[in-house]
Homo-oligomer: A and B are copies of this chain.
Amino acid sequence: MSGRADRTRAELIRATTRLVREVGYAQTTTRAIARAAGVAEGTMYRHFPDKASLFLAALLEQHGPVVEAVERLPARAGQGTVEDNLVGCLRELATLREAVLPLELAMLADPELAAQRRRPPYPGGPGPGPPVRIAEYLAAEQRLGRVRADADPQRATMILLAVLFGLAVGPPAAPGPVDPDLIRDAVRLLLTGLGTAPG
């Protein structure tokens, strides 16, 4: 129980997430985290074996809401329009991701950190998550005849998420939230296609 310990732990994670977003990974020192969390420097090591584990925990913390947001998608197959369903889901993903994108980038940029990602910090680890649910949704729509029969739902999902990630990070964007209009444009383009001829 010990509500105090739990609060400290949560504070540490909140501080870490905030600092990485605001000042970048390089500037997020243990001292800065401790100060931002309002605890002593040594306290961190009561809750996490080392700094990398704290980062990992911060990253996973966000995973819950993301999963939830996508969990509902497959059930919407056949309702409304495909475009609206996808746009809604991707916008939610973009919003949630905004908080952790800097953490993800830090991991991508630092192999040593990324190595930690291999071994999930607790047995079982995070569930299937967004990619699987979106693919499920696309397959369902495919069965309903609202998505081309010759498309590969998994491949399409991969590309869909790649667009999302690319737009979130992309060169034109000063770091900041993804333009929601851009998300709709992307989904529409992916649905409609760019070409005029059958091939």
Contact = CB atoms under 8 A, between A and B. Distances in A.
Nearest to A84: B199
Nearest to A25: B109
Q: How many copies does the complex hold?
A: 4
Contacts of A27: 110-112
Contact of A190 (B148, B171, B193): B193
A160 to B, nearest CB: 9
Nearest to A82: B195
Interface stretch (A1-9, A10-18, A161-169): A161-169
Contacts of A196: 145-149
Interface in A62-112: 81-83, 102, 105-106, 108-112
A25 B169 contact: no
Nearest to A101: B108
Nearest to A198: B192
A145 B131 CA distance: 35
B195 A24 contact: no
A81 B138 CA distance: 28
B158 A194 contact: no
A60 interface: no
Nearest to A81: B199
Contacts of A185: 152, 155, 159
Contacts of A114: 175
A171 B62 CA distance: 16
A106 B82 CA distance: 37
Interface in A11-47: 23-27
A105 B106 CA distance: 8
Given A108-B109, A162-B162, A166-B161, A189 B156 contact: yes
B163 A170 contact: no
A145 B195 CA distance: 9
